Structure 1
């Protein structure tokens, strides 16, 4: 039995990293060869999940960032006890006597600091220096992220591995009546193009608006509030298409979640998005608003194309699962201890 400590503090937040943390930690607990213990600290939220072995602390992330990334005089074992492996979050890199694993979801603060808050960029630079000198294995969520990380860091290639993220079983086509009620609750139009909002210019929203001018456009996080994770399948299923021509993603969870929910996807032909979309998405140059507009028109108005994309999307989404992600992560732990 391998005893693994894992920092799940990101669950307190919103976005792709918390989804990864929640789904992976839950599926790792089902691995019979692992004994899991979890570190959770947040001032925002109290942990109310179903994981066993959660060590809870009500302290701010800034304090642990100072303690683990700067002072570095207290090990994670002080909080969670002895372990064989410690899997850190993307925020802190605490000292540990155990083998150390971390996950890189993207390198936005390091490669594109103009798209990040200066505080986040500073934390990530400090943490990277520790990772470069101490880490035993880095999990990257796409080949694109791995390539970028190797470019901007001194981490050896042999200390990196790609393990794709998954798509939860809650993402599937939704009942028509439930969709109708959802649209009424959020005052959504009968037919609309869905885009995903975000901080800075990374989501390419200026061109999204320009290319969507002939259709009703709903930007999640702007035109409607961020919906809960449990409501995301309804949001996807309510839309005519996911329009996701981002400049950069570490993986692209909305792509496979939308496909599993039964809607076509238009996304960018750069970074990790072709890895997530496979042959089931329509790809565009995110710099070319004219091409984006043309492809959107095709998907919105060509019924046979829509049906083909939806069918391919179901097949593509099935390639990704959190169970598979957990099994491959468990194998990383096992191989580290055999060295």
Structure 2
């Protein structure tokens, strides 16, 4: 069986969850007997491909920077990748993102992974003219089979795109530790709550900020560390001022995985207030470093976190405040969440993800 992954995600993503997912799955499937795997990504910009076995790569890294001649580079890469896929004539083409037209041989069976339906559920939060939803619908319609990363996403795909449930298989993403615990550096300062990643729109950061600000015990004894997501924007700075928070206690930090691991390890709790996630890796990251998780009770989050989180209604700042206070006040609750978190991690592995994906491929041959 010949399996090929197209170039889409690798010409637009240097680092990121989707490209890492494809690399993790492709590298493991390539080790199975009677399976030939190729990632066809000419002129890519992706960092993960540099760490894969050379025999599964039909690609070369772009000599240009990520922004230089970006549109021209993408167009050339798509055309060249299409020609290479047609020449290879694989049995399976796994489309790595959403494109209006099929790439490669039309005789190949097509698999598409849908990670979330954020563009459809939160359309107003994306710029006018964004074609992601339109292209996703076209890719889903032509796919012979669709992989969804959670049951929650599957329900959304069925309801929004009208896809036959028999055409969909749910395969949870894998997870592994980012950095060895030996690399940790102590965090000096007050105890803190940790928020990770982008903060706008459906990520619901401003509601979390209000919940933090209206809690006397949280604002007086705990910093709020926001890792990643860029510097605070004008709306966030205005909210910090309006809520009478000390800017020294609401901290935005950036850095590589080593620094992120440090902040997970030493946080009093990790807070995940998102209104919607297709899967949600950050709670698993927190669990892996023994950080108790306080999180939303919506979309796929309970499916991923299971019994290893203290839940709140993300639309209710009082409920959010109560959940955060419960965790920081009770060492027994924190210890219980940490223990359950380590157990929960065993449910997710890239090997399981790859094996289930290979079964989908086999079902189409």
Cα deviation, 1:185-206, whole Å, max 9, x if unaligned, reads xxx6452111123263111110
1:86 aligns with 2:86: no
Q: Is the 8 A contact 1:7 1:89 kept in 2?
A: yes
The reply to whether residue 128 of structure 1 matches residue 137 of structure 2 is yes
* Mapped contact 2:8–2:97 kept (Cα < 8 A): no
Q: Is the 8 A contact 2:42 2:77 kept in 1?
A: no
**Change beyond 3 A, Cα 1:48–1:195:** same
Q: Residues 113-137 of structure 1, C-alpha deviation per residue, up to 9 Å, x if partnerless? A: 1233345x313313422431x2111
Q: Distance in 2 between matches of 1:33 and 1:169?
A: 30
Query: Which structure is larger by alpha-carbon Rg, 1 or 2?
Result: 2
The within-5 A match list for 1:64-83 is 74=82, 77-78=85-86, 81-83=88-90
CA–CA distance in structure 2, aligned partners of residues 294 and 199 of structure 1: 21
Which among 179, 187, 201 is matched to residue 185 of structure 2?
A: 179
Q: Distance in 1 between matches of 2:276 and 2:35?
A: 34
Query: Given that residues 65 and 91 in structure 1 are in contact (C-alpha distance below 8 angstroms), is that contact kept between their aligned partners in structure 2?
Result: no
Which runs of structure 2 are paired with 1:128-207 in the superposition (5 Å)?
Answer: 128-132=137-141, 134-170=142-178, 174-175=181-182, 178-180=184-186, 183=187, 189-198=189-198, 200-207=200-207
Match of 1:276 in 2: 304
Bigger shift: 236-245 or 136-145? 236-245
* Residue number in structure 1 paired with 2:4: 5
Q: Distance in 2 between the 1:144 and 1:64 partners?
A: 36
- Count how many residue pairs are aligned between Structure 1 and Structure 2: 324
Task: State the partner residue of 1:291.
Answer: 319
Query: CA offsets per residue over residues 317-337 of structure 1, 9 Å max, x none?
Result: 111001100010011111111
User: How has the CA–CA distance of structure 1 residues 294 and 63 changed in structure 2, closer, same or farther, with 3 Å as cutoff?
Assistant: same
Find the counterpart in structure 1 of residue 236 from structure 2: none
Q: What are the Cα deviations for residues 33-65 of structure 1, in whole angstroms up to 9, with x where unaligned?
A: 421100224564565222332122549775687
Cα pair 1:284 1:292 within 8 Å, conserved: yes
C-alpha distance in structure 1 between counterparts of 2:21 and 2:306, whole Å: 20
Compute the RMSD of aligned alpha carbons. 2.9
Conservation of the 8 A alpha-carbon contact between 1:8 and 1:25: no
C-alpha distance 63-123 of structure 1, shift in aligned 2 (>3 A): farther
Q: TM-score, normalised by structure 1?
A: 0.85
The equivalent of 2:118 in structure 1 is: 108
For 2:363 and 2:342, the matched residues in 1 are separated by: 33
Unaligned runs of 5+ in 1: none
Secondary structure of 1:216 counterpart:
strand
SS at match of 1:243: strand
User: Could you give the per-residue CA deviations for residues 150-177 of structure 1, whole angstroms, max 9, x where no partner exists?
Assistant: 11113221111100011114467x24x7
Equivalent residues of 2:278, 2:299 under 8 A apart: yes
- Cα distance in 1 for partners of 2:352, 2:299 equals 23
Cα separation, 2, equivalents of 1:68 and 1:154: 32
> Does the CA-based 8 Å contact 2:225-2:253 persist in structure 1?
no
